[in-house]
A and B are shown apart, each in its own frame.
Chain A
Amino acid sequence: MNALKKFLGIIWMLLGPIIIIFLFMQASEKIGLAAEGIARTNTTLQWSIIILIFIPICAGLVIFGYYGWKGEYEKLPGSSAEI
């Protein structure tokens, strides 16, 4: 199980930037589509909010992956004294 935790840690570290790149690609595509169409379907504000919120969360996912990869989750604290 510990090997799996470490391996998945690498996946989470990669997943963080991948999600951000995916969101940027989606945003530029959808905002571009809206700009060609009707002004009312412009979703620039919505996409800006989504990206702004998910950047720190994805950074958290990278840190979580790093901790997993470094074996920080091999043994979880059994009591508050260990925190």
Chain B
Amino acid sequence: MQSTDKNVTQSITQVIAASSLGTLIEWYDFYIFGSLAVIIGQQLFPSDAGASALINTLAIFAAGFIVRPFGALVFGRLGDLIGRKYTFLLTLVLMGGSTFLIGLIPSYSSIGYAAPILVLILRLVQGLALGGEYGGAATYVAEHAPVGKRGFFTSWIQTTATLGLFLSLGVIVLTKNMLGAEAFADWGWRIPFLVSILLVGVSIYIRMKMHESPVFTKLKAEGKVSTNPLKESFQKKANFKMVLLALFGATMGQGVVWYTGQFYAQSFLENTCKLDFNESRYVLLWAILFATPFFVVFGSWSDKVGRKWIMLTGMLLGVICYRPIYQYFIDATNVKEFAKTELKSTSDPVVERTLVKDTKDSLITTTTLKTLNNGMTFKEAKIVTIPDAVTTFPEEQTVIKDVTLSGSSYIIIIALVFFQVLLVTMVYGPIAAFLVELFPTKIRYTSMSLPYHIGNGVFGGLVPFIATLVASFSGSTPLSGLWYPIGIAALSFVIGAVYIDNKGDENVAD
């Protein structure tokens, strides 16, 4: 008996490892785009587009999320018709190929608007592929997992999204440090995209060796495979009402908590708080590193106490804590204010003169590095536009950039981002098992993929984009963008608390 248990465990371990590796690489592929949004914006859009270039890049980034539900429908249907294994092999090939090609696209200065159009098309392919991947991997692992341990086993798949982000940040930081900031901004940003093809090759090789899910194989042998998964999923009221419940009571709130903690936090620190490029990524890397084991902790715990309240507590804590956390980010990085009383030294100014594109106006940038008594540093750039025509006066603006933190504020900010990622582990750790248990085998891939990808792809994926857009309105404050994730998480909490049962259907073989 012990030997049989050991074989089952070994087999599940292999299933988890092979599934997780492929899913991790897909997340890596998907997230390098977001992690490089600022640089891609500079490469793909006119150099004087400023904040609009960032918003447009985030729009292309968001486009990848928006098509995820369509990928869920296309590949979910395929997975319920021909099987889990071949479907998520196909998604892996599509994802790897499109990521590699993004790394080869010439910049805006070479091919003009063809550059953003090509990236948009490839980004859409990425989104479609990811829409098919996750549901397949989660279903595949859950259908191998024994009753009472499904939350624990599927939580390993849940770690991959965060680890994929970790890997993407790590490769970016490593590449930038090896090449230097200038070479990285010029061409080095392409390397993380190109590296993907190697990772995908390894993962395809491993996945080719896997067997089909035993539950699906049995269903197929009995001739009970669905002939029209889309119709059965969304036209049959008994199933469709569960799809709606999964979306509004769970995945919608889970999605915004995920993307606030792991994307908006870094974007906010870099773009609003003007933290140094590497510093903002190191903060997130440390936070993810410490928080990732909690996916397994909460996934496993959900096997004992139920999935519902763990997920909903994560949402509620997000609703309560987001505004104070982000207010601290602003306060702790307000170097302009600190410099009035705490300025320790100022470096010699570095002066640069450049011509404004398509005009004869000049830009004179005078940059000084300032160090504060508490150890923080930042660069202050005074930019003066000298007009060609002498009829107007020169305009001057002061820009703060490349803020680095001191010991205590660095640790507190890491702790606050860690707390946000901890909330991610609460909402995300148990959700694969929750979704798998909600739907029957023959339409599971389709039924669970759609609410998952609307919740994460649309509600979650739009967090950086909508929050940045809202914060750019006149009269708004830097914290205004947070109303979007707070509102969505609050709504999902109420729906989940009232309508969802804490006890799910533990039998996933039917």
Contact = CB atoms under 8 A, between A and B. Distances in A.
A17 to B, nearest CB: 15
A63 interface: yes
Given A40-B52, A57-B454, A33 B474 contact: yes
Given A40-B49, A40-B52, A77 B242 contact: yes
B507 A64 contact: no
B471 to A, nearest CB: 12
Most buried by B among A49, A64, A81: A64
B248 A64 contact: yes
B507 A76 contact: no
A61 interface: yes
Contact of B66 (A1, A53, A60, A80): A53
B247 A83 contact: no
B59 A83 contact: no
A80 B441 contact: yes
B247 A60 contact: yes
Contacts of A45: 59
B505 A77 contact: yes
Interface in A31-49: 33, 40-41, 43, 45-46, 49
B49 to A, nearest CB: 6
Interface string A42-71: 010110011001000100110110011000
Interface string B464-479: 0110010011100000
Contacts, number: 78
A1 B470 CA distance: 36
Contacts of A43: 55, 469
A62 to B, nearest CB: 10
Nearest to B66: A53
Given A40-B50, A46-B59, A80-B440, A8 B244 contact: no
B466 A67 contact: no
Contacts of A82: 238
Contact of B473 (A30, A73, A76): A30
Interface in B3-39: none
Contact of A61 (B49, B50, B248, B462): B248
A80 B505 contact: yes
A33 B454 CA distance: 30
A66 to B, nearest CB: 10
Nearest to B240: A63
A43 to B, nearest CB: 7
Contact of A77 (B50, B238, B441): B238
B419 interface: no
Nearest to B506: A79
A79 B510 contact: yes
B393 interface: no
A49 B70 CA distance: 15
A72 B507 contact: no
B503 to A, nearest CB: 9
Given A60-B247, A63-B244, A81 B510 contact: yes
Given A64-B244, A77-B505, A83 B66 contact: no
Given A1-B498, A46-B59, A79 B507 contact: yes
Interface string B47-76: 001101001000100110010000000000
Most buried by A among B50, B462, B495, B510: B495
Interface string A1-31: 1001100100010000000000000000010
Nearest to A73: B499
Nearest to B49: A40
Nearest to A82: B238
B331 interface: no
Contacts of B472: 41
A49 B49 contact: no
A21 B193 CA distance: 41
A79 B469 CA distance: 44
B388 interface: no
A10 B133 CA distance: 36
B499 A5 contact: yes
A64 B244 CA distance: 6
A76 B238 CA distance: 9
Contacts of B441: 80
B55 A46 contact: yes
Given A46-B59, A79-B505, A68 B499 contact: yes
Contact of A76 (B52, B62, B247, B501): B501
A83 B440 contact: yes
B273 interface: no
Contacts of B66: 49, 53
Interface string B228-252: 0000000011110110110110000
Interface of A: 1, 4-5, 8, 12, 30, 33, 40-41, 43, 45-46, 49-50, 53, 57, 60-61, 63-64, 67-68, 72-73, 76-83
Given A64-B241, A73-B245, 7 more contacts: A1-B498, A50-B466, A57-B458, A60-B248, A76-B242, A79-B507, A83-B440
15 contacts: A12-B495, A40-B49, A45-B59, A46-B469, A53-B458, A60-B248, A61-B248, A64-B244, A72-B237, A76-B245, A76-B500, A76-B501, A80-B439, A80-B507, A80-B510
Nearest first, the 4 A-B pairs at minimum CB distance are: A80-B440, A64-B244, A80-B510, A40-B52
